[in-house]
């Protein structure tokens, strides 16, 4: 009797497992999407060439569209150009240009200014000092640098 019960139970469980496998359809695999494009990596050489290109554009002689001051080239400093202070107030005009300096003439007098002290933006040539300090230097009343 035990054998009969065991065979019936085993037969039912095998039949149930077989029906379970055939009764359910296999799930359809989803279509494979294209893999995302790999990120664009830029090496140090490419970044350096971009930086050099931007620097060369900023140093190009002539007017600039930049509101921020950028360095000047000797070709930017020509006689007759107006020179502004750091706030955009007119200091004077370039009277003449020497080797590495320019003479800026204002109503109070003249002063030699090194090319390194000049910058430019979309308004023209700049010197990074206020008009009051420039006038004090021209008048000779400025405190000497220590």
pLDDT digits (tens, 9 = 90+) for 83-116: 999 888 999 999 999 988 999 999 888 999 999 9
3-state secondary structure the chain: CHHHHHHHHHHHHHHHHHHHHHHCCCCCCCCCCCCCCCCCCCCHHHHHHHHHHHHHHHHCCCCCCCCCCEECCHHHCCCCCEEECCCCCEEEEEEEECCCEEEEEECCEEEEEEHHHEEEECCEEEECCCHHHHHHHHHCCCCCCC
In contact, 125 and 69? CB cutoff 8 Å? no
pLDDT digits (tens, 9 = 90+) for 57-66: 666 656 667 6
Q: Which residue ranges form the domains of the chain, and what is each CATH number? A: 76-141 (2.30.30.240)
Confidence bin at 81 (pLDDT 50/70/90):
very high
Sorted by sequence, the CB contacts under 8 Å of residue 15 that are 6+ apart come out as none
For the full predicted model, state whether its pTM sits above 0.75.
Answer: no
Map tokens 């008009």 to a residue.
131
Which carries the bigger pLDDT value, residue 36 or residue 13? Answer: 36
- pLDDT recorded at residue 102: 93
- pLDDT recorded at residue 145: 61
Provide the phi-psi class of 124: left if phi over 0, else alpha when psi is between -120 and 50, else beta. Answer: left
- pLDDT recorded at residue 125: 92
- pLDDT recorded at residue 24: 63
What does the angle CA 119 – CA 58 – CA 72 come to, to the nearest 5 degrees?
Answer: 30
């Amino acid at each position: 009797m035990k054998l009969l019960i065991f065979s019936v139970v085993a037969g039912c469980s095998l039949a149930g497992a077989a029906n379970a496998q055939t009764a359910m359809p296999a799930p359809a695999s989803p279509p494979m999407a294209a893999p995302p494009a790999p990120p664009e990596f830029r090496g140090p050489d490419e970044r350096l060439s971009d930086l050099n290109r931007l620097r060369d554009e900023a140093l190009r002689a002539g007017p600039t569209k930049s509101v921020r001051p950028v360095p000047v080239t000797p070709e930017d400093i020509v006689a007759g150009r107006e020179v502004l202070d750091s706030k955009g107030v007119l200091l004077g005009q370039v009277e003449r240009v020497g080797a590495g300096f320019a003479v800026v003439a204002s109503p109070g007098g003249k002063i030699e200014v090194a090319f390194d002290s000049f910058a430019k933006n979309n308004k023209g040539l700049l010197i990074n000092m206020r008009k009051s300090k420039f006038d004090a230097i021209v008048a000779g009343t400025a405190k000497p640098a220590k």
